A and B are shown apart, each in its own frame.
Chain A
Amino acid sequence: MNFRLLRFGLWAVIAALSLFLVFTYANTRFGNKAEAVQLGAPFNLTDQTGAPITESAFKGHPTALFFGFTHCPEVCPTTLFEMAGWLKTLGDEGKDLRVFFISVDPERDTPDVMKGYTSAFTDRITGITGKPDEVEKFLKAWKIYAKKVPTENGDYTMDHTASVMLLDRDARLKSTIDYKESPDVAMKKLRLLIAG
C-alpha cells in the first residue's frame, strides 16, 4: 500500500510539473498573461496626409506599430503585405485595430511618399513620418533600433528593428510579432490583443 501511495505521489508530482511547464511555455509564447509594458513618450509627428499626429492616436483601440522605410527592399514590403493579410483575415473582428507604419528614414520618406507606399498594401495602414529629430526621439522612446548605413555613391540603407509591436487600448506594449513569425501565432496574438 505504501509503495502504491509513493508511486501515485511521484506520478502526481511529474504530472503537475509537466502541466506547469506547458503553462509557463504557453504564457511566454503567446503572452496572454504577460504584463503590458509602458513604453513611448508624447510626440509630435506627421501622418501620411500631412496632418499632425500625437500619442493620443494610439489610445482607445488596439494598435499595431511597424517601423521601416520605403527604400527598404525586403523586410518592410514583406511585413506590410503580411499585415494587410492579417487585417483581411480578421475582417470585422479587427475593425478597431489601427495599424501604423513609422518611417525610420524621415529624410527621404515625406508624407506623400509614405501615402503612395502604404496604399499599395491596404488603406488600413497609416504612414507616420516627421522631423528627423522628432522621429529619433520617438524611436528611442519605443526602444527601436535604427541606423543609417552608407553604401556606394553617397547612398545609404537602414538597419532597423523589424518586429511588429502590439499595443493595448492604453498604448502599452502587450506583445510583438517577429519577422517570419508563423501566421497562426501572429493571428493568435492579434486576437488576444483585440480581446483585450
Chain B
Amino acid sequence: MRSFSRIAALALLATSVSFAAAQSHDHSAMGKGDATAMSDDMMEPVRAGDLVLSGAFTRATLPGAKIGGGYVTITNQSKEADRLVGGSSPAAQRVEVHEMKMDGNVMQMRQLKDGLEIPAGGTAELSPGGTHLMLINLTAPLKEGDMIPVTLEFAKAGKVEVQFMAGPANATSMEHN
C-alpha cells in the first residue's frame, strides 16, 4: 500500500514536470526572434552628435519586390531624448519609419508619423519584425553585398548618412554579411 502511494506521488511529480516543461517551451518560442544579436565584425559605428548608429543592414529584395527594410541600432548617449523622424535615400523614392505588429494572427504595418523616440541614455532597435525603416519604391532591386546609403533625420541630432549593407533576403542581422 505504502509503495503504491509512493508511485502515485512519483507519477504526479513526473506529470507536473512535463507540464511545466511544455509550458516553458511555449515561452521560449515566444521569445524567439525578439532581439537580434549583432556580431563583432560589424561596421564601424556612425556618430551623429550624441547618437551612435551601428549594425546597419538591409536585405536583398525578392523578385518583383519594390520595397526594402532598413535595420539599425541607435544608442543615445545624451541626457535628452531624440527622435528619428524620417530619412531619404538615392535608392528609394521615400524612406519612412514603420512599425510592424501582430494583432492576434493579423499582421499590421503602420507608418510612425511622429517618428521613433530614442530615449535619453537608451537604445532604439530597428529590427526585422519590429520597428524598421521602409525603403519605398526602390529605384533598383537590392542585391546581396550592395551598400545602400540612407540619410537619417533626427529631431535634435540632425541628418546623418549611414551605409546599409545588403545581406541575404532572409538576413536577421549583420552577422552573416
Chain A residues with CB under 8 Å of chain B are 4-5, 7-8, 11-12, 14-15, 18-19, 21-22, 25-26, 29, 70-71, 73-75, 77-78, 81, 113, 116-117, 119-120, 145, 149, 151-153, 155, 157, 159-163, 176, 178-182, 184-185
Contact = CB atoms under 8 A, between A and B. Distances in A.
A178 B32 contact: no
Interface in B10-31: 11-12, 15-16, 18-19, 22, 25, 28-30
A31 B160 CA distance: 51
A150 to B, nearest CB: 10
Interface residues of B, number: 49
Interface in B41-86: 62-69
Nearest to B60: A120
Given A18-B16, A25-B19, A77-B170, A71 B106 contact: no
Contacts of A25: 19, 22
A157 B18 CA distance: 43
Contacts of A81: 169-170
Given A11-B9, A25-B22, A161-B105, A70 B1 contact: no
Contacts of A15: 8, 11-12, 15
A71 B65 contact: yes
Contacts of B15: 15, 18-19, 21-22
B78 to A, nearest CB: 30
Interface string B91-111: 001101010101101111111
B107 A75 contact: yes
B142 to A, nearest CB: 12
B4 A71 contact: no
Contacts of A78: 128-129, 170
B105 A179 contact: yes
A7 B106 CA distance: 50
B69 A73 contact: yes
Given A120-B62, A185-B29, A153 B94 contact: yes
A152 B94 contact: yes
B134 interface: yes
Contact of B1 (A4, A116, A159, A178): A4
B90 interface: no
Nearest to B109: A157
Contact of B106 (A21, A155, A160, A181): A160
A21 B17 CA distance: 12
B64 A113 contact: yes
Given A74-B128, A113-B64, A120-B63, A179 B102 contact: yes
A73 B1 CA distance: 64
Contact of A152 (B8, B22, B111): B111
Contacts of B32: 180, 182
A196 B5 CA distance: 40
Given A180-B29, A182-B28, A70 B5 contact: no
Contact of B108 (A4, A26, A117, A159): A159
B129 A74 contact: yes
A131 B9 CA distance: 62
A29 B72 CA distance: 36
B18 A22 contact: yes
B63 A116 contact: yes
B33 interface: yes
A133 B111 CA distance: 28
A74 B69 contact: yes
B8 A4 contact: no
